[in-house]
Amino acid sequence: MSAAILTALIPFSGHTITHFTPREERGISKKKVVVDRFAPISHQRKEVPSILIITEDRELEMLERYEENPYFWRMLKVAGHPNAEILELSGFDHGGMASLAFPHLLKFVKR
C-alpha cells in the first residue's frame, strides 16, 4: 500500500522502533532496540502524510517509548518532512492519555 492514500498519521504513544510483539515472537528481549522493516522509523521520509505524534508524560511512559517519539519527529524533520508535529501530554500515562489526545487529533484533522 502506498502512503499517498493516507491523509494523516496520528499515533498515540507510538512505538517507532520495532514493537514488542514482533520482538517477542522472535525471542528478542523487550530491552533490546531493534529497527527493521517493522519499525516505523525505518520508513521515515519527507513524502509521508502529515503527522501528529502524541505521547504521554516522559516520566510516566512505558519503557523507552517516550524517547523514541521525539527522535522519530526529529528524523522526519531532518528528512525534510513539511508537517510533522509532536505533543507531550504532561501528567498522563500510557493508559490514561487517550481521552486528552482525541481533541488534539480532531483539531489536527480539521486543519
pLDDT in tens, 21-36: 999 999 999 888 999 9
Report the pLDDT value the prediction gives residue 35, as an integer from 0 to 100: 94
Query: What DSSP line would sit under 16-46, residue for residue?
Result: -SS-HHHHHHTT--TTS---STT-GGGG--T
Residue-wise pLDDT for 58-72, tens only, equals 998 777 788 999 999
Model's pTM, two decimal places? Answer: 0.86
Residue-range domains of the chain with CATH:
3-14+43-110 (3.40.50.1820)
The mean per-residue pLDDT over the stretch 85-101 comes to 91
Asked whether the predicted pLDDT for residue 1 surpasses 60, the reply is: no
Report the pLDDT value the prediction gives residue 7, as an integer from 0 to 100: 84
